[in-house]
Structure 1
């Protein structure tokens, strides 16, 4: 072979991971003159096959020597303490953001989405004090709505000079305000 001429090359499969070590997928690596032209973050070692879960339920992480299998969080409780970069578009972070959103949809009122100053995603536990405050606000909102309804209907009854309706609305008002219970005491 002439000097300076490149020998024909072949392609072999390597396995790429992101900057945090999470598996991205297979990548073809060119072998030129017996040496692989390696892109960053690849290994010739394939990730293991998951034993008791599908690949959608686990993540593979390269520690520099071998792959570890991590079960992905799927419930709000499991997501507490996990922070996901908002700007990352790695398959691992995209998958975790989707799972976090699904977990929050099922999580009920005990959890909520939290966002960091850098827009990172995480799950927060709603405290008992916050739940009590939310219930109080809901009750106050309901009370305000009922009072507003009585007021609007009272104005219409007054405009129509409907004394029977006005008297009925006064009764609703007294009941809403708890005045009937007070006068019975």
Structure 2
């Protein structure tokens, strides 16, 4: 029995060995015929084609180059936008400095004086922005106009409103005219 089992094992091993050698021979033949493609028993194909790999690498490189090109274009546009913003900021800063210097200039801070108001008016404010507090009988921005006088301008017969250049007399009963000069 032992002998039969041993012979059977040897036969199975021999058959397996022969089968493996046949497959290796087929493998070698297929490899010689196809070049880079290797086939085992015609069932499983393993591809390591250098041409396919090169083509894939070229495609990937093209995609990366295209992506890089787009990134460079976007970066260039962003750089232009940043430069434009910098220029605008510089211009605005310069304008603000000029405006600030104008506000703080000597003439803006210098007080106005008596010469800025007529007829002894009192000047309030600075040289560029001031008002005049006028003496009684005068009006206008620099106290240049004489306020009308009812006794003088309306002949004492009515109330005077305005200045001597533009006056209105509200006449008392019994008088009429521009200066209340005509009795009714």
How does the TM-score come out when normalised to structure 1? 0.26
Greater RCO (CA < 8 Å, at least 6 residues apart): 1
Which structure dedicates a bigger proportion of its chain to helix? 2
Which structure dedicates a bigger proportion of its chain to strand? 1
How does the TM-score come out when normalised to structure 2? 0.26
